[in-house]
Amino acid sequence: MYLQANINEQLFQSTQCSIEHEKARVSLQIDEKYFHALGAIHGAIYFKMLDDSAYFAAHSVVEDFFLLTTSFNMNILRPANKGLIVAEGKIKFNSPNLLVAESTLSNEVGKVIAFGTGNFAKSKILLKDCEGYTLEND
């Protein structure tokens, strides 16, 4: 469902995503189409990578309802303009109505270039009703 979303099919074709219990990893090969005027990736790319990995870490423990990002704070530490960037998210807090996950984004040599924390809430939308959703063992 994630890789088939319009934003990933149209703009982020090189995105890879893996999900484990309470953890997720999202990677993207940097392309010049993601650059701002100074020749490095735009802050929107940092946000997408951090939010996606934290979101899927949170969703790894929610099997019934679609989650919504209700807030996300990020800190950009340094620019990136080549190679593979990798965001790794993990759950920090889990309650019936709110999950908090943090994520770090690293460059091709493993140096942290950004980090963030997001809050995720259960929506009223059942996952089984979402277009493109399938369970791994379906």
Q: What is the mean pLDDT of the chain?
A: 89
Which H or E run includes 55? Answer: helix 43-59
Give the model confidence (pLDDT) of 73-89 as tens digits: 999 999 999 999 999 99
Q: What is the pLDDT of residue 47?
A: 96
Give the N- to C-terminal CA distance of the chain in Å, as an integer.
Answer: 13
Q: Is the pLDDT of residue 46 over 60?
A: yes
Provide the sign of the torsion angle of the four alpha carbons 73, 117, 29, 13, taken in this order: negative
Give the model confidence (pLDDT) of 91-117 as tens digits: 999 998 899 999 999 999 999 999 999
Q: Is the pLDDT of residue 9 over 70?
A: no
- Choose between 65 and 24: higher pLDDT: 24
Angle at 54 between CA 136 and CA 131, to 5 degrees: 40
The mean pLDDT value for 126-136 works out to 68
Cβ neighbourhood burial of 92 (10 Å; 0-12, 13-18, 19+): middle
Q: Is the pLDDT of residue 129 over 90?
A: no
Q: What is the pLDDT of residue 4?
A: 63
Q: What is the pLDDT of residue 138?
A: 47
Q: What is the pLDDT of residue 67?
A: 93
Q: What is the pLDDT of residue 2?
A: 62
Q: What is the pLDDT of residue 132?
A: 60
CATH number for region 6-126: 3.10.129.10
Whether the CB-CB separation of 51 and 72 falls below 8 Å is answered with: yes
Q: Is the pLDDT of residue 19 over 60?
A: yes
